[in-house]
């Protein structure tokens, strides 16, 4: 029996896909056979580079720039993706920012901006996509949470609150949309090797590795492969879950 994860014929939208985890997800989706709309807020050149890689894999790609916290831009992004690539089968809410500080020193604007991007953005993109999927009685939404949303982290109260909210939103959407054949799941990465974590002091990276049962930092492909599984027919009976991809850090 074949267990190959095949997304041939599907159209996916990945937010925050210009670099890092989002880029890896977009490329893994394309490698599995999907056409992919690549979103970012500011770096159009990075998105264009990802689209070029998607097209080199023999799939169609599309740059769709938008601020996911802006409802008008989100609605226009979804409309354009469907108009140019076809009906969305998969939406991956990955866009995110960090504005770290301890609560006593955190500017409320930094709290609001992180909540707006991670939580409001996931809500708006899911809402716009679900309206399309609802009529078709099919679709898959995958939201990026974090191990920080499951266990908290000093200096990241805004990020932890947003990512915990994403888990609650995922469960609620799964219950609301399941009757129409739409699956909604979340991924909760641990510490992943990205430019952000590469900038951490070596001592901090060592502490993270020591706290992780698998004794390593994950890769963007580790997250991307989990996303492709949740998007695939092999996960047809999986909804409302938050899948940790954290090397055991969240235990």
What span, in angstroms and rounded, lies between the C-alpha atoms of 76 and 122? Answer: 15
Whether the CA torsion 145, 149, 150, 155 is positive or negative: it is positive
Which two three-digit tokens encode residue 81? 């993706």
Q: Residues 95, 124: contact at Cβ < 8 Å? A: no
Distance of alpha carbon 42 from its chain centroid, rounded?
A: 17
Which two three-digit tokens encode residue 89? 């089968």
Q: Residues 174, 184: contact at Cβ < 8 Å? A: yes
- Give the pLDDT of residue 188: 98
Q: Residues 8, 76: contact at Cβ < 8 Å? A: no
From the candidate CATH numbers 3.40.50.720, 3.10.105.10, 3.40.190.10, 3.40.630.30, the one assigned to the domain spanning 11-242: 3.40.50.720
Which two three-digit tokens encode residue 194? 């990205």
- From the candidates 41, 123, 159, 191, which is the catalytic residue? 159
Active site residue 159: yes
Using a 10 angstrom Cβ sphere, with 0-12 exposed, 13-18 middle and 19 or more buried, the burial of residue 49 is: middle
Q: Residues 124, 93: contact at Cβ < 8 Å? A: no
- Give the pLDDT of residue 3: 57
Task: Count the Cβ atoms, other than its own, within 10 Å of residue 202.
Answer: 7
For 133-162, what is each residue's pLDDT tens digit? 999 999 999 999 999 999 999 999 999 999
How many CA atoms are closer than 13 Å to the CA of 188, on its beta-carbon side?
27
What span, in angstroms and rounded, lies between the C-alpha atoms of 154 and 168? Answer: 21
User: Would you kindly state where each structural domain of the chain is located, as residue ranges?
Assistant: 11-242
Q: What are phi and psi of 231, to 5 degrees?
A: -80, -15
Could you list the pLDDT tens digit for every one of the 251 residues in the chain? 455 799 999 999 999 999 999 999 999 999 999 999 999 999 999 999 999 999 999 999 999 999 999 999 999 999 999 999 999 999 999 999 999 999 999 999 999 999 999 999 999 999 999 999 999 999 999 999 999 999 999 999 999 999 999 999 999 999 999 999 999 999 999 999 987 778 778 888 899 999 999 999 999 999 999 999 999 999 999 999 999 999 999 99
Task: Count the Cβ atoms, other than its own, within 10 Å of residue 33.
Answer: 17
Which two three-digit tokens encode residue 234? 């092999």
């Amino acid at each position: 029996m074949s267990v190959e994860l095949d997304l041939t014929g599907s159209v996916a939208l990945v937010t925050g896909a210009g670099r890092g985890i989002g880029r890896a997800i977009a490329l893994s989706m394309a490698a599995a056979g999907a056409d992919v709309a690549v979103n970012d807020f500011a770096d159009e050149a990075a998105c264009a580079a990802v689209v070029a890689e998607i097209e080199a894999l023999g799939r169609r790609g599309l740059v769709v720039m938008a601020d996911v916290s802006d409802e008008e831009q989100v609605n226009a992004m979804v409309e354009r993706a469907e108009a140019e690539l076809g009906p969305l089968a998969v939406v991956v809410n990955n866009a995110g920012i960090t504005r770290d500080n301890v609560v006593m020193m955190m500017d409320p604007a930094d709290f609001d901006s992180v909540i707006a991007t991670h939580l409001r953005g996931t809500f708006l993109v899911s809402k716009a996509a679900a309206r399309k999927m609802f009529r078709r009685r099919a679709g898959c939404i995958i939201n990026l949470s974090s191990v920080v949303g499951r266990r908290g982290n000093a200096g990241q109260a805004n990020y932890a609150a947003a990512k915990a909210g994403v888990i609650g939103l995922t469960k609620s959407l799964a219950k609301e949309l399941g009757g129409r054949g739409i699956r909604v799941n979340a991924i909760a990465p641990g510490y992943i090797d990205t430019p952000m974590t590469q900038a951490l002091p070596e001592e901090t990276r060592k502490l993270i590795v020591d706290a992780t049962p698998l004794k390593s930092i994950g890769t963007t492909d580790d997250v991307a492969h989990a996303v492709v599984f949740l998007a695939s027919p092999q996960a047809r009976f999986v909804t409302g879950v938050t899948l940790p991809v954290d090397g055991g850090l969240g235990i």
